Amino acid sequence: MAANPSVLITGASSGIGATYADRFAKRGHDLVLVARDKARMEALAARLRDETGAAVDILQADLTKPEELAVVETRLRDDRRIGVLVNNAGATAPGTFTEQAADDVGRIVTLNATAVARLASAVAPRLAQAGAGAIVNISSVVGLAPEFGMAVYGATKAFVLFLSQGLSQELGPRGVYVQAVLPAATRTEIWERAGIDVDTLPAVMEVGELVDAALAGFDRREPVTIPPLHDAGQWDAFHAARQAMIPGFAQARAAERYRTPA
């Protein structure tokens, strides 16, 4: 694989994805941008070609449509120049679970979970065979906090975190770096698209600061990067508490509390 491989970024037409595109182009990488809004990607590509000299391809795709997702999967499978996948496209829907239509629930899961897993699946075997490359998955702190009242969105982000950790276990020893990035509220269009005024939130990170912090974690090969978490020891303690349970899972008998009448 080339020293500076091409980077395929989903959801590259705005927000975090467009900012990743800017930063990777400035680091000397060629790009493949994926999203639905071709005009916005054309404008971004033109700027980046002009400013950085990067080669920028555009793949217009709605990742909730199987036939369009398949085109991106094929590109990831076959284009040996691509060595980094940034699985960033994601969305939520307005309202609580009982207010969201079943089709909205399905669309959130398809975009935020199914597409993420399928795109990782398309590229992982080739990267593992090359013994190099990276998969960056954009999760969210919402995936750690059911208290935030975003049940389906949060569930997909917990999925992305778990998937990343699982892939890291499997692919890390084979030379492929996998990173989960967990932003908290970041100033992008996702809020407006979900019917929320971002300025009503208590604290909002600017998108450039978020992506630069995520890339600092990338350069350190962190498996999990949480830019807004100031006390890194809290994540370490959480991780350690989870790991401490694991040896206890191997039991032939149910726990005592379930063997006595309520």
**Based on CB atoms, which residue is closest to ligand NAP, 17 or 217?**
17
Residue 182 · residue 226 · CB < 8 Å: yes
DSSP state of 112: I
CB of 198 to ligand NAP, least distance (A): 8
Is 15 a binder of ligand NAP (CB under 6 A)?
yes
- Least distance from ligand NAP to the Cβ atom of residue 147, Å: 15
Strand partners, 86: 9, 136
The per-residue DSSP string of 242-260 comes to HHHHGGGG--SS--GGGSS
C-alpha separations of 150 from 3, 142, 143, 198, 222 in Å: 40, 7, 9, 16, 27
* Residue 20 among the catalytic residues: no
Contact set for ligand NAP, span 175-204 (CB under 6 A) = 183, 185-186, 188-190, 193
Residue pointed to by tokens 């680091």: 27
Q: By CB under 6 A, name the one of 1, 4, 23, 36 that touches ligand NAP.
A: 36
Q: Is 214 in the site for ligand NAP (CB under 6 A)?
A: no
79, 6 in Cβ contact below 8 A? Answer: yes
Q: Give the shortest CB-226-to-ligand NAP separation in angstroms.
A: 10
Taking CB under 6 A as the rule, does residue 33 contact ligand NAP?
no
157 close to 142: Cβ distance less than 8 angstroms: yes
What SS3 class is residue 143?
helix
Rule CB under 6 A: choose which of 21, 63, 82, 108 binds ligand NAP: 63
Interface with ligand NAP (CB under 6 A), residue from 7, 56, 91, 108:
91
User: Counting contacts by CB under 6 A, is residue 217 touching ligand NAP?
Assistant: no
Give the angle subtended at the CA of 148 by the CAs of 145 and 150, to the nearest 5°: 100
Q: Which of 7, 8, 16, 161 binds ligand NAP (CB under 6 A)?
A: 16
**Positive or negative: CA dihedral 223, 228, 231, 235:** negative
Contact assessment for residue 80 and residue 123, using Cβ atoms and an 8 Å cutoff: no
Site pattern 96..135 for ligand NAP (x: CB under 6 A): ---------------x------------------------
Query: Looking at 4, 42, 47, 62, which residue binds ligand NAP (CB under 6 A)?
Result: 62
3-class DSSP state for residue 194?
coil
Binding site for ligand NAP (CB under 6 A): 11-17, 35-37, 61-64, 88-91, 111, 138, 140, 183, 185-186, 188-190, 193
Catalytic residues: 153
